[in-house]
Amino acid sequence: MLGPGEATGAITARAIADAIFADRRSVTRGAVCAETHARYVEKEFVMTITVNGQKHQVTSSPDTPLLYVLRDELGLRGPKFGCGLAQCGACSVIIDNSSTRSCVLPVSVVTTPVTTLEGLGTPERPHPVQRAFIEEQALQCGYCTSGMIISCAALLEAHPRPTDAQIEDALDGNLCRCGVHTRIVRALKRAAGLSA
């Protein structure tokens, strides 16, 4: 039986790919560039939200958490529902260069582009953090993986060679119930070109 942080050899390649790149059927790619705006059309609230470089019109009510819009309206399976209380990080997305908890963010206040796991990289062209997660086998069940990768990517964007304190601070809000933290930090350091 695997102990905390031990090898992930029982995971299938498909499961690893799903955790690290999400469901490829619903991927939207491209540079992150656009705006979000909302307007009332007759009695319906219609918003344009930009996710992974692509504009989408969504019709959820204004107070709907962004996470629900991403998963239910846009079909993006990268961000996960964990606690729904901004306490586990499974739902993390990048907004304004920061890892942001989408489970408590009303979609109507999202005014800048959103990047989800699907927008980071592809199996063919993985983001450095995704590649490092594979190389370090930095997952077990995979449920926290999307949020972890998002937080790592946001950190490296802000601090390409982060200190241990910056790493600890960046991952403080991302929980891994499988206890794979050691491997996750190792993957983050590998992506940054730092020795573990």
As beta bridge partners, residue 7 has: none
> Which residue type is seen at 3?
G
Q: Can you give the three-state secondary structure of 111-135, one letter per residue?
A: CCCEECHHHCCCCCCCCHHHHHHHH
Q: Which is nearer to ligand FES, 32 or 141 (CB)?
A: 141
Least distance from C-beta 19 to ligand FES, angstroms? Answer: 8
Q: Which is nearer to ligand FES, 101 or 127 (CB)?
A: 101
Least distance from C-beta 56 to ligand FES, angstroms? Answer: 21
Task: Return residues touching ligand FES (CB under 6 A).
Answer: 81-84, 86-91, 101, 103, 139-144, 176-178, 180
Q: Which is nearer to ligand FES, 154 or 178 (CB)?
A: 178
Least distance from C-beta 40 to ligand FES, angstroms? Answer: 28
- Quote the tokens at residue 49: 């939200």
Tokens 């969504």 found at: 58
3-state helix, strand, coil in the chain (%, to 5): 35, 15, 50
- Quote the tokens at residue 57: 């019109």
Q: Which is nearer to ligand FES, 53 or 173 (CB)?
A: 173
